[in-house]
Structure 1
């Protein structure tokens, strides 16, 4: 079972990262995506500087007084018996899928509290397209990804209520088969199918030990249910039971149930109608499939089943080549973007560095304390360019233009792969249908049985 949460960081990114990568907490389970954990706050700042240079709009590129980064937490239950290495790998998969490979992040797995959990801090500005992270419906989306990955690794997950939030108490009770809310909802569902009025509904639930009050609007805002043996009274509202259990919705469901019961076919009519409908649909679908096969054979100029396989082998080889080419261009572009971020950082913070060089003594110390983050980013950018054998005189506009040209080339290649993959899918479908057609009647009957 993994709990997930997220909050924004508007300042002190350096302190937040220093906290999560503390060796006493994570025992070496630290990784960075497109950044080095020890200097990740500087690299985040350089990406933001490049985004500002490229976009020129602080509200969209993440360089104004907005969110600088985000901090995600993924915590696992002790009874899942997960190892730190497994937790770290799951956290990486979670971050990679959630962020789409477009944002730098640092992940640290803490093992010092008895409950293994991941901390992930990621840049609010994308190094890929310099866009600001969109946190619309973030909580629901990131939890959905985390739950799926946990289930794939045989870890437990908490089932959500209709509003997307989960109660730990309700989850543990349900796991033990003791959830009174589940029992209440099942009883309400059953009563609705048997009721001809809201009064019948209340009477049926009363027989099952559930008292219903506030049935009329003037009695209260919410319909109320009191389950025998449970101290708390449960209100019928979306947040508590779900959208199908409000007063208005229950009345609508009773009316719907009455209509369905009065318009129901007998079993023989229903079955005959279903068989007729399915047989007609199947004939039309089969005809369409056969026409598609003939059209593909004509278009692709195929003369045998071997032709189809040879064509598929050629397509798959071409896809592999195109993907290798994309990786080669993308790897170079990552390097160019790093250079561009160094140049943009120097360009942005050079005035601060220049003013620092004019100061002495106490004024210098105060100035360095005030602009510590900016000065560290400037110094780091200069050092990295020097390691590459480059200097800050390189034309940043030309580097940006080169990056854009390569991005366009990558998009063109990806689009081409998409078209080729569609062609391969069509040929695979034709191949399967032809194999089915060429089988003997005996083989087809064996398959049907």
Structure 2
């Protein structure tokens, strides 16, 4: 086991050799194909790490089934904004926020570009898919809600909708202070909280004004900005690939230019001199042949551009990439700011509604 504390929380890793050196089979084949989950060795390893954490008074995940692990590739796609699963989760979260009940949630999914299949009589009752994913690949399959995580299963979605309507939903990174109504509030504390909330709300409104959207349009604008961000990432990846290909071509053409004199001199010779030259410079001649074949794969018609022209093209593509990168940063900032502003305004309005309800109850008590 290996433990390190250089992150925000303690990390404990179990390291073992995945391959059996005797028969060449993997740990998965030998140990992790048991009939029940508790018999599987991965579960036993998790139990051991939990015991170690408890012994040293460290945090233990009580309900690991609530979350789903992800591979490094999926994590990297999420980081780049290319993960369809992360995009699907975000879209579902937005639908939940505006739904009155589960039936309303199912009806509104289409408005947010989410296809849904719901069959309460089936064991796998709920499935999702992005509409744009279906457009790109008509044979794409729906994703089970359980695959997205415990938070996106039917019962949890119903609870989240009920909590959100009741104002009990926890919103990550919210800045507006939660106001808990009391029988006798301190006026000075109340005024201080109100001033702070007004500052935050004012900042949120300034952000909406900056992008020319209203509070009602903020959610949709945030989703659009996230979509634009994903599109720009794809364009940046395409440009990066094209630049790499051009750089490879430049390198090949320059190498070919270096060995071409050997080939031209070889063609000019005859008889024994030609045979002797071939023997003495076989490496350079073979390299010329290999490079020629490689370049023909890029340019089958034989019209090979010069290295200088390709370098100019690289400069143009690099400038385009810089411009797209600036657009990506702007879109990313816009998406984050609009999403944050929308959450802050919603929370502020929800608190104001609760205060009004509390005032009405107080008046009724006095009457």
Normalised TM-score (structure 1): 0.32
**Larger strand share, 1 or 2:** 1
Greater relative contact order, per chain length (Cα 8 Å cut-off, separation 6+): 2
Normalised TM-score (structure 2): 0.39
